[in-house]
Structure 1
Amino acid sequence: MHSIEAELETIKNQVEAMERLEQEPKYSRRDYFASVPFDDDPSTVDHWCRYKMLEWCYSVVDFINFSRETVGIAMSYLDRVLSLNNEFSNGLLFSRKNYQLAAMTCLYTAIKVFEPKIIDANLLVELSRGSYTADDFKQMELEILFALNWHLNDPTPFQFLEYYLQLLPLHECNLHVQKDTFLDHARYQIELAMFDYTMVIHEPSKVAVAALSNSLNSIFTAHGAYNDGVKMIQHLQRMTSEPNADLPAVQHISLGMERLHNTKIPAILRRASPPSVTGTTISNKCNDQNSIDHDGEFRNAKVSPTACVSI
């Protein structure tokens, strides 16, 4: 018992550290589209550009069988850079070509940092159908790294979700549901929320609380254990920092997730598994240098970002 209590205390300390970290300016995000005039200028970046590049990122990681959390990290890099309100960030917001290059590079960087294998820059060149060179990606990566001051270990909603779930006393409920059930359901909610720009500007902890609250309510209610669900949601709110102050934002995100689910689920989220590759397997895409080469059948995949953002 003592060991379990010590483990829970360690998790609580980790959560508190992450909650403090997400409040630091280096990990903050602002409503950067508020300063962009949405007129008829075809070069100006808008919400749809972000949506399509996010869709492209999911297509890539699904195909290679990487973690979808890596996409969340990549988009956090991109959102943080665009929130800087400086010459570099404005150069991305007012040029779709530069924005697309930055989005692709953020995914490239997140994969290098967090995945066990890396992708070759020439693969990105091929996926862009020659719109950019390998040097373009390398230069953009350096600019992004310096813009972020090399702060690449973002606290993510997925991390908060797993910690919050471990802290919930689900064993006290009359209905016993596997934690993985809640985890899978909540992770889907987070992935869904990433498509709505108005939600991603909130702190990752709030997104995680909203996703887990929705999952607790949905699953317990579906099993006729509504009261247990309410009890767990109340416990979740108590263990987050400043729960009363956070509640309006969490409710906004929660309702937004429900709205997205009930209206339009992006096709990429309906995909049960990575698309099959005729005559080969995903593992064959990785060469002996622990990288994913630009050769082979991957070039035939319909994930080219040139179809995502009109330049």
Structure 2
Amino acid sequence: MMTTSDGIYDEACITERINTMRMREENTPRCHIYFTQEVDSRCRKLMVDWCFAVVDAFALSRETVGVAMSILDRYLSSGKGKSCYALTCTQAFQRTAITSLFMAIKIHEPAVLGLKLLVKLCRGVYRERDIIATENEILFALDWRVYASSTSPMEYVRHFVQLLPECADAADVILENAARRMDVATSDVYFSTHWASSVGVACLAGALDDMYMISPLDSEALWKKLSNFLDFDIASNEIRQVEKRLNAESSSCVSPMPSRASLPRSSLNSGCEQPSSPGSVAQ
């Protein structure tokens, strides 16, 4: 819980952070559904699954995969540099997704996934210089604003929960439920075409719905209180559409692994059990 130096709950500081994140995302170009005949939703889903396998193998946060997909989706939506080529060649698409994960880990994880280990995970399909060249290409296309384009919906959820001290005792459960919803959202490019804040609201809504100990009346009171803090409409048509789709996909898709966001981090060494090669995408 965010507090002042006197230990007082600081609502103003939290809302200011939310407003700053909102301003940043509103100044970031939206993604679009970029699929082609060569690179479709199946290709992206295969890479999401592989990325989840990698972060699970090293006890990293699954949220990092969401950040990686945000980088990937924004790059492929940019139309700049070699992004168009990556949509006509499955091997180039795969290399771009792997590089996006590499970048996301560098930004959001305390441990760095080294290039040599990454190449080993890819079973040597790509060389170190391939990953470096692709990283530079992504940075150029996104005008080096990678962090600004990778605000996670879970960042919003954590701030929302901090604004609701009534939920303090159940905060861990709420965040875990929201993280499972976020896993589902990560697998569908549709959610990348909406603001991260909208997806965050939808994840929180689903997480609260999953908690049967919260009555509908109490839930309504929480949403009303949260709405009073924020300077955007948390019941907008966009958010309702995102929530509806997330609910539909969550009901038919159970996250195969629990979120690792709160687990101890293991060292990134070759002794860990390694996921299989991502080569199936390019086949």
Determine if the TM-score, normalized by the shorter chain, exceeds 0.5: yes
Q: Is the 8 A contact 2:95 2:131 kept in 1?
A: yes
| Matching of residue 256 in structure 1 with residue 229 in structure 2 | no
Q: Is the 8 A contact 1:72 1:156 kept in 2?
A: yes
CA distance in 1, matches of 2:79, 2:115: 28
Q: CA deviation at 1:47?
A: 1.0
- Structure 1, unmatched stretches of 5+, are 39-43, 275-281, 287-291
Superposition pairs for residues 102-121 of structure 1, below 5 Å?
102-121=96-115
Percentage identity across paired residues of the two chains: 29
Per the alignment, do residues 156 and 50 of structure 1 end up closer, same or farther by CA in structure 2, a change over 3 Å counting? same
Superposition pairs for residues 300-311 of structure 1, below 5 Å?
301-307=274-280, 309-311=281-283
Per the alignment, do residues 102 and 193 of structure 1 end up closer, same or farther by CA in structure 2, a change over 3 Å counting? same
- What residue number does 1:98 align with? 92
CA distance in 1, matches of 2:156, 2:243: 16
CA distance in 2, matches of 1:126, 1:37: 29
Structure 1 counterpart SS, 2:154: helix
- What residue number does 1:28 align with? 29
TM-score by length of 2: 0.87
- What residue number does 1:155 align with? 151
CA distance in 2, matches of 1:58, 1:192: 11
Which digits, 9 at most, give the CA deviation of each residue in 1:246-301, with x for residues without a partner?
A: 62111112122221122133xxx222478xxxxxxx84xx4xxxxx34x4454xx3
Q: CA deviation at 1:13?
A: 0.7
CA distance in 1, matches of 2:81, 2:137: 12
Q: CA deviation at 1:163?
A: 0.6
Q: CA deviation at 1:215?
A: 1.8
CA RMSD across the alignment: 2.5
Q: Is the 8 A contact 2:80 2:141 kept in 1?
A: no
Max radius of gyration: which structure?
1
- What residue number does 1:194 align with? 186
Per the alignment, do residues 224 and 164 of structure 1 end up closer, same or farther by CA in structure 2, a change over 3 Å counting? closer
Structure 1 counterpart SS, 2:126: coil
Q: Is the 8 A contact 2:50 2:275 kept in 1?
A: no
- What residue number does 1:59 align with? 53
Q: 2:160 aligns with which of 152, 156, 164?
A: 164
TM-score by length of 1: 0.80
The letter of the residue matching 2:279 is: T
Q: Is the 8 A contact 1:209 1:236 kept in 2?
A: no
